[in-house]
Amino acid sequence: MMVDDEMRKKLVQAALEARQWAYAPYSNYPVGAALLTASGKIYDGVNVENAAYPTGMCAERVAVFKAVSEGERQLAAVAVVTANGGMPCGACRQVLSEFGKDTLVLIANDKGELVLETSVEKLLPSAFGPTDLNLEA
């Protein structure tokens, strides 16, 4: 799916707006994500931390799980907004790769400025995937 400049801006803006709902009282590092699916829908997500630290969840995975739980299986692009243009963690890269290695990844800061444009494949080359579980392949 071609993701034009207008859509890229829209995704970064959606991630920026979602970021206000991040629940990050421990890290003070709010993250907003916005995911474009192949069907053209946008799902946003924020990091949701917890007093029991490991039970929190990243913004990117919240967005993916929201999309998948509504029947989406193909991702086209994801925008991630943090204060300083931070990168998705390894776990999020793995989850994103399950639903599209070609997924465009837009990393932006809290001014909405694009810091990096990349892809899931570039962020996690040779990822473990569904075919690794198929012993007959």
Residues 31 to 60 in contact with Zn ion, rule: CB under 5 A: 58
Q: Is 116 in the site for Zn ion (CB under 5 A)?
A: no
Whole-angstrom distance, CA of residue 110 vs CA of residue 18: 11
Q: Provide the minimum distance between the beta carbon of 58 and Zn ion in the complex, in angstroms, as a whole number.
A: 3
Paired tokens of 71: 């029947």
Residue 60 a catalytic site member: yes
Q: Which of 89, 102, 122, 129 binds Zn ion (CB under 5 A)?
A: 89
Q: Provide the minimum distance between the beta carbon of 61 and Zn ion in the complex, in angstroms, as a whole number.
A: 6
Q: Which residue out of 6, 17, 49, 60 is catalytically annotated? A: 60
Structural contact between residues 75 and 95, judged by C-beta atoms closer than 8 angstroms: no
Q: Is 92 in the site for Zn ion (CB under 5 A)?
A: yes
79, containing H or E segment: strand 75-81
Q: Beta-carbon neighbour count of residue 55 at 10 Å?
A: 9
Residues with active-site annotation: 60
